[in-house]
Structure 1
């Protein structure tokens, strides 16, 4: 096995479990202790993991890209996910939408859903509904301090959310991992998202496949708390198996499926499928 192949195996194990031991890698990869340590050194130099005594652990992310930068990533996947999520939101309900680029796209697919009451701490989400100007909709934007992802957080946001009762929350996340759960690199955003989760009867997480294996510094909720995880069909089969054991329901949106984007003419055709894992 080439060094690059070994290192991908090591990274895959860290994505799934959060940590690896040198002794276990020596045995399973059938290489020397020194070879494993060189691989770990190389991966640490790339910022892919953090070495600890006897092994390595996933590196917790603390950097938070801006909303515009994240919007340009995995666009097709995010639109497919947003269409699938919107199909789960019933009319005339109370729904929460957290911050995030995918949840902002979800808002675009919900503008024609009648009778919604929307609670959000996301400035882009609120702007989407503001531009739609539907008289049969109520949109409540929390107060708070603005994060790089254009989410409002802090004491004012928490005060706005506590005491609410929402039917459903659509949650955007920075990372997903079996041990760490659903995570974010922003401590205050995690606290605000946790308040939204507590206020909601059902939790739908919207996250593209690239979030798998990424660990933010703060856990929002464990995987088992998620009622429905909507991701795309680019998710690795091993990740599908792990998530299928933890989340209530795993939905894979088909990226190549036909379906309009907000503003496109004609009816919408949302394609999605349940993962059998």
Structure 2
């Protein structure tokens, strides 16, 4: 019991020192903790993990920074809507991403949930027009390279649109683009809420061999007035939480009867 209490005290001392270093230097590395505390890298990482669980810091690749240094983007209400379905869709979509790939990711709450599921991928490059997504990649995906399009920044939804999106992508052609959809009509196609958003999605599709659309089931058969960015059969893959009545699968079916819908 005495030894156990002593070890606990030593851990507390180390963690206090780590927080002091963060306060003084603005960051701390695993190597620095090992040198100053005389512990292994495994112990140093364990201390950082414990401090992160307690809300004192945020882990980074090879160390940590104070919570106060993080730029936490405002989370719109739409991100929290149907969060469980969006998380499942994002997790399933992440299975399509291979290490070393460059992918295009459009704006939206479901594509943001998809980015949250890419933590295990290595050496990927993510090009997006979404400010929230760009910040997330920069801060929380150390094994990914963030890149953004040009364009005019819409303050309300925090994404770039307009002619500069096209010019910034003019020399780029890659394998996969991941896009959200605000609505789907079986006889008309995939819809975006605003014209400028729709035109940006059209441009993204032009620069990828494969179009993957991420959409939760509440978007099917919407009665609102939206703008089409893709026809029913323009998507190569549609990932959903569920397909009510098989409507999307029927509308998007390939010429040889192949199913394009994947259920998360």
Please state which band the TM-score falls in when normalised by the shorter chain.
0.5 to 0.7
Residue 133 (structure 1) shift: 5.2
> What are the within-5 Å matches in structure 2 for residues 117-266 of structure 1?
117-132=125-140, 134=142, 136-147=143-154, 148-214=156-222, 216-233=225-242, 235-243=243-251, 245=253, 249-253=260-264
| Preserved CA contact (<8 Å) 1:224 1:248 | no
Taking a change above 3 Å as real, the CA distance of residues 133 and 245 of structure 1, as seen in their structure-2 partners, is closer
User: Cα deviation per residue 1:60-119 (whole Å; 9 max; x = unaligned)?
Assistant: xxxxxx961211211110001000000111111110100000101111111331111111
User: Cα deviation per residue 1:238-261 (whole Å; 9 max; x = unaligned)?
Assistant: 4255245358521111xxxxxxxx
Number of aligned residues: 186
| Preserved CA contact (<8 Å) 1:175 1:184 | yes
| Preserved CA contact (<8 Å) 2:215 2:238 | yes
Residue 162 (structure 1) shift: 2.3
Structure 1 stretches of 4+ moved >4 Å: none
- Asked which structure has the greater CA Rg, the reply is 2
Q: Highest relative contact order (Cα 8 Å, sep 6+), 1 or 2?
A: 1
| Preserved CA contact (<8 Å) 2:103 2:126 | yes
| Preserved CA contact (<8 Å) 2:193 2:225 | yes
SS at match of 2:167: helix
| Preserved CA contact (<8 Å) 1:119 1:142 | yes
TM (norm. structure 2) is 0.66
Taking a change above 3 Å as real, the CA distance of residues 225 and 249 of structure 1, as seen in their structure-2 partners, is same
Mapped to 1, the partners of 2:212 and 2:225 lie a distance apart of 19
| Preserved CA contact (<8 Å) 1:99 1:121 | yes
TM (norm. structure 1) is 0.63
SS at match of 1:111: coil
Instruction: Tell whether 2:117 aligns with 1:109.
Output: yes
Mapped to 2, the partners of 1:119 and 1:217 lie a distance apart of 25
